[in-house]
């Protein structure tokens, strides 16, 4: 917190102390999945409960997270609810892959997300950030308010196109998909992907009792006879992967790197289906989540003009020192800390599910085979025992003087299966926020209220 500046307290969803009746509770959960988190999870190590035959345990302390996500990782695979909600979109990509598949995919793709790969993508990220600032400045000249959440999704999808699918325009010419007349802009491509995400979250992405209890899918009949809204973007990506492979692959975008990826231990390469599923995974992780982080960051600027001024001054200095996109983040330390604090209060993936494969103990609490494990990162980041004044926005928490206990700050997951694209996401967010803070001033529309809403990812409600 800057000296003399008024504190900004983050919006919050009050947790339940005693779970409501089942019907009311399920209605709340389908509206906002944060309602699954009990108040006790904000201070106890493990909170146990049951829903009919389903036993579940909510993690609340770093030592509990360390046990599940590191020490006994093999005993806690992703819960069936995650596969039910995510597999129609992500298939068998790295996020949902079983342990053996995950190991070799991670090894094969690691070079694409290492320092050299990120540096090659940085100029494209900076160009998209500059284009976004120009687009928003033009929109701001009208009297109508700008819907920042939508604009950040557009920006994130452009980041995807220019870093993951840089040759998409030329590849698309011969596909005849959706009769794309504007091949350079590829508006149909972007719209197909984003519409698929939105429709999916509105229906397939809302958990019901059948999902929580892992009951047969015929108990959600709409999912059997309705065409998943994700099928069209998946078909488009499959055709693009095939086209690029037939052309021999080229360039330094992520698709080219994935086509050339090879497991250094076994020599195994990725099939077209595996590449498509991983592209879908990275599109979701690299567009929806980063867009949400930037949206929350801009909301913070509207509430804290002193931070807007500080980030603007830092960006001005950084751009005077260097024009090298890959080097810019090194000159933007407070922009990075600001985003770290945004991710503490508003983690894009606020709730993670696991399931016990065998009987176990977590912090002296017995866990039986089949029990559901809820890991509410949202609550961990707002735990008063771990973060003094947890609702108060203070990027100085991340200035290096305060020692961070392992497994108390997990915006990109934890343990060996932490997000492979964390470095990519942070470079994209730092560059974009620096450009926007330097070029634009943001104000929240008068009378507007914002609160956190979870539907797989954490959105600003409204």
Measure the CA–CA gap between 295 and 150, rounded to whole angstroms.
9
Query: Do the Cβ atoms of 460 and 452 come closer than 8 Å?
Result: yes
Q: Assess whether pLDDT exceeds 60 at residue 444.
A: yes
Which band of pLDDT confidence, cut at 50, 70 and 90, is reported for residue 368?
Answer: very high
What ranges make up the beta strands (E) of 3-162?
46-51, 54-59
pLDDT of residue 21: 83
Alpha helices in 352-457 (DSSP H): 377-380, 422-439
pLDDT of residue 253: 72
Query: Do the Cβ atoms of 297 and 435 come closer than 8 Å?
Result: no
Q: Assess whether pLDDT exceeds 50 at residue 384.
A: yes
- Arithmetic mean of pLDDT over the chain: 82
* pLDDT digit string, tens, across residues 414-440: 887 788 888 889 999 999 999 999 999
pLDDT of residue 172: 46
Q: What is the 3-state secondary structure (H, E, C) of 11-48?
A: CCCCCECCCCCHHHHHHHHHHCHHHHCEHHHHCCCEEE
Residue 461 DSSP symbol: E
pLDDT of residue 273: 86
Q: Assess whether pLDDT exceeds 70 at residue 446.
A: yes
Average the pLDDT over 247-259 and give the result: 71
Lowest mean pLDDT among 40-44, 55-59, 203-207, 347-351: 203-207
Q: Assess whether pLDDT exceeds 80 at residue 109.
A: no
Average the pLDDT over 63-79 and give the result: 92
Q: Assess whether pLDDT exceeds 90 at residue 356.
A: yes
Average the pLDDT over 104-120 and give the result: 76
Measure the CA–CA gap between 115 and 199, rounded to whole angstroms.
35
Which band of pLDDT confidence, cut at 50, 70 and 90, is reported for residue 25?
Answer: confident
Phi, psi at residue 9, to the nearest 5°? -100, 125
Average the pLDDT over 190-216 and give the result: 59
**Cα–Cα nearest to 190, from 293, 288, 296, 294:** 288
pLDDT of residue 383: 96
Please tell me which of 199-203, 248-252, 277-281 the model is most confident about, judged by mean pLDDT.
277-281
Which band of pLDDT confidence, cut at 50, 70 and 90, is reported for residue 360?
Answer: very high
Q: What is the dihedral of CA 92, 96, 101, 102, to 10 degrees?
A: 130
Which band of pLDDT confidence, cut at 50, 70 and 90, is reported for residue 219?
Answer: low
Q: Assess whether pLDDT exceeds 90 at residue 7.
A: no
% of the chain at pLDDT higher than 70: 79
Looking from the CA of 101 toward its CB, the CA atoms found within 13 Å total 15
pLDDT of residue 299: 96
Q: Which residue has the higher pLDDT, 370 or 217?
A: 370
* pLDDT digit string, tens, across residues 88-100: 667 777 777 777 7
Average the pLDDT over 202-208 and give the result: 57
CB-count exposure of residue 361 (10 Å: 0-12, 13-18, 19+)? exposed
Average the pLDDT over 101-122 and give the result: 77
Classify residue 106 as left (phi > 0), alpha (psi -120 to 50) or beta.
Answer: alpha
Measure the CA–CA gap between 405 and 62, rounded to whole angstroms.
8
Q: Assess whether pLDDT exceeds 60 at residue 403.
A: no
Instruction: Give 136-139's long-range contacts (Cβ < 8 A, gap of 24+).
Output: 136/436, 136/440, 137/439, 137/440
Q: Which residue has the higher pLDDT, 353 or 164?
A: 353
**Cα Rg of the chain, angstroms:** 22
* pLDDT digit string, tens, across residues 163-201: 876 644 444 444 443 433 333 434 455 555 556 556 655
Residue 244 DSSP symbol: H
């Amino acid at each position: 917190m800057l000296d003399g500046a008024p504190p900004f307290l983050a919006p919050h969803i009050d947790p339940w102390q005693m779970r409501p009746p089942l019907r009311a509770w399920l209605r709340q959960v389908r509206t906002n999945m944060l309602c699954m988190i009990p108040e006790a999870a904000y201070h106890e190590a493990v909170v146990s409960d049951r829903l009919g035959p389903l036993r579940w345990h909510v993690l609340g302390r770093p030592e509990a997270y360390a046990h599940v996500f590191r020490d006994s990782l093999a005993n806690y695979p992703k819960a069936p609810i995650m596969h039910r909600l995510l597999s129609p979109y992500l298939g068998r990509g790295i996020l949902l892959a079983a342990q053996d598949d995950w190991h070799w995919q991670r090894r094969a793709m690691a070079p694409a997300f290492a320092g050299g790969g990120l540096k090659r993508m940085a100029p494209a990220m900076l160009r998209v950030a500059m284009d976004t600032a120009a687009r928003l400045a033009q929109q701001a000249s009208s009297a109508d308010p700008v819907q920042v959440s939508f604009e950040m999704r557009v920006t994130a999808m452009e980041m995807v196109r220019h870093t993951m699918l840089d040759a998409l325009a030329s590849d698309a010419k011969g596909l005849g998909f959706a009769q794309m007349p504007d091949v350079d802009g590829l508006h149909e491509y972007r719209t197909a992907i984003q519409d698929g995400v939105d429709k999916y979250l509105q229906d397939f992405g809302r958990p019901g009792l059948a999902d929580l209890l892992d009951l047969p899918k015929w108990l959600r009949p709409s999912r059997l006879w309705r065409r998943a809204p994700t099928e069209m973007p998946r078909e488009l990506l499959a055709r693009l992967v095939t086209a690029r492979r037939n052309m021999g692959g080229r360039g330094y975008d992520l698709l080219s790197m994935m086509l050339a990826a090879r497991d250094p231990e076994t020599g195994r390469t990725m099939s077209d289906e595996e590449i498509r599923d991983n592209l879908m995974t990275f599109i979701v992780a690299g567009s929806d989540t980063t867009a949400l982080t930037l949206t929350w960051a801009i909301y913070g600027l509207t509430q804290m003009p002193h931070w807007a001024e500080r980030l603007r001054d830092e960006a001005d200095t950084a751009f005077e020192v260097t024009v090298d996109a890959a080097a810019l983040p090194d000159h933007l330390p407070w922009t990075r800390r600001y985003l770290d604090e945004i991710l503490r209060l508003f983690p894009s993936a606020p709730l993670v599910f696991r399931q016990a494969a065998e009987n176990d103990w977590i912090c002296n609490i017995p866990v039986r085979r089949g029990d559901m494990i809820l890991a509410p990162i949202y609550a961990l980041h707002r735990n008063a025992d771990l973060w003094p004044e947890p609702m108060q926005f203070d990027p100085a928490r991340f200035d290096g003087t305060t020692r961070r206990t392992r497994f108390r700050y997990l915006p990109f997951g934890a343990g060996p299966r932490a997000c492979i694209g964390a470095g990519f996401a942070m470079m994209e967010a730092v560059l974009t926020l620096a450009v926007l803070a330097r070029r634009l001033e943001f104000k929240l529309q008068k009378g507007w209220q914002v609160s956190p809403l979870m539907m797989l990812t954490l959105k600003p409600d409204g």
